[in-house]
Chain A
Amino acid sequence: MRKILSALAASAAVALAVAGAIAASAQDKQDKYAVKVPGGLALSDFRGYEDWQAVGPSETDAQNVIRLIVANPVMIQAYREGVPGNGKPFPDGSKIAKIVWTPKKLTDPPFSASTPDTVPGTLSRLEFIEKDSKRFPDTHGWAYADFDYDAASGTLSPGTLADTPPQANDAKCGAACHTLAASKDYIFTAYAKR
């Protein structure tokens, strides 16, 4: 009887281990919206960014990335009304996300090695900025967060001091750099006409 019980327990353990491995190997098993920068912003502050409208694309040589910059409805509306060119700041509640990929060069016809099409390859990271003047008075109302994507595990984790830009345990990682865009309410990306 004891032998049967331990055999049963052993098979149950194997079954559970297999189930666990299957769960872990599936992409996006992680609840990414539970990920948070220690002392900073949670990814859930930007829930639904996958569906937001585009501000514009960019390709940044220094970091060798291709990006899509999207914004939430509040911020898209502000852009369409002429912010920041009209001298007004983005309103509280504005949220903008940079989706960053490693570039992939398509060289199959109709493209070629000398005239490739550069498109998103592996997801590399997500960068976010949101405006809340009361919460973030030290950084002109804006708060920043970066998350790194690991393609092998399909999981996101908060950026660290080793990243570019370095991210400490706060919501200020982009503030120093974005002062260069002070005349545009600290946002580099322009809304491209379409």
Chain B
Amino acid sequence: MKIFLTGVLTIVALALAVAGGKAVSAQDKQDRYALQIPGGLSFSEVRGYETWQVVGPSLTDAQNVIRVIVANPVMIKAYQDGVPANGKPFPDGSKIVKIEWKPKKLTDPPFSANTPDTVPGDLEQVEFIVKDSKKFPDTHGWGYAMFVYNTASGNFAPADLSSKPPVGHDAKCGAACHTLAAQKDYIFTAYPAR
């Protein structure tokens, strides 16, 4: 009887392990919008960013990433009205997201090894900045957050102190660097003509 029970338990355990494996391997099983930087911003601050309009693309050598920078309707409207070159700041409610991928080099025709097309490979991380002058008075009204994507598990996780830039338990991870863009209301990305 004991042997029988052990056998049944083993089978049940195996079945659960297989089911668990399947669930984990499925993409996007995770609710990314339930994630939060401890003491910082929740991913849900930028819910729906997948459908936002584009500010522009970029390719950053230091981090070896290719990016698309998107913004919510409030911020796109401000860009189109001429912010920040017109001297006005982005309004409260502005939200901007950097979607970062590892670059992938396409070398099949019409491209080649010498003249590749560089396109998004694996998703690497999602970074965002939101403006709320009342919530973030110490950082010129902007709050920062970053979530790292793991391709194998298909899950996002809050960035931490080992990430680039390091993310502490607050909403200030990008603030020090973005002071370099102080005259552009702390936002590096320009809105190019299209």
Residues of chain A at the chain B interface (Cβ within 8 Å): 49-54, 56-62, 66-68, 70, 99, 101, 108-112, 114-123, 126, 177, 180, 188-190, 192-194
Contact = CB atoms under 8 A, between A and B. Distances in A.
A100 to B, nearest CB: 10
B56 interface: yes
B58 A54 contact: no
A118 B59 contact: yes
Contacts of A58: 57, 66, 117-119
B173 to A, nearest CB: 14
B59 A117 contact: yes
Nearest to A51: B53
A17 B130 CA distance: 47
A53 B123 CA distance: 18
Contact of A61 (B67, B114, B177): B114
Contacts of B6: none
Contact of B123 (A110, A120, A121, A193): A193
Contacts of A50: 194
Most A-side CB within 10 Å, residue of B54, B57, B119, B190: B57
Contact of A194 (B50, B53, B60, B190): B50
A68 B56 contact: yes
A125 to B, nearest CB: 11
Interface string B48-64: 01111110111111100
A118 B114 CA distance: 19
The 3 A-B residue pairs whose C-beta atoms are closest, nearest first, are A57-B57, A192-B120, A62-B115
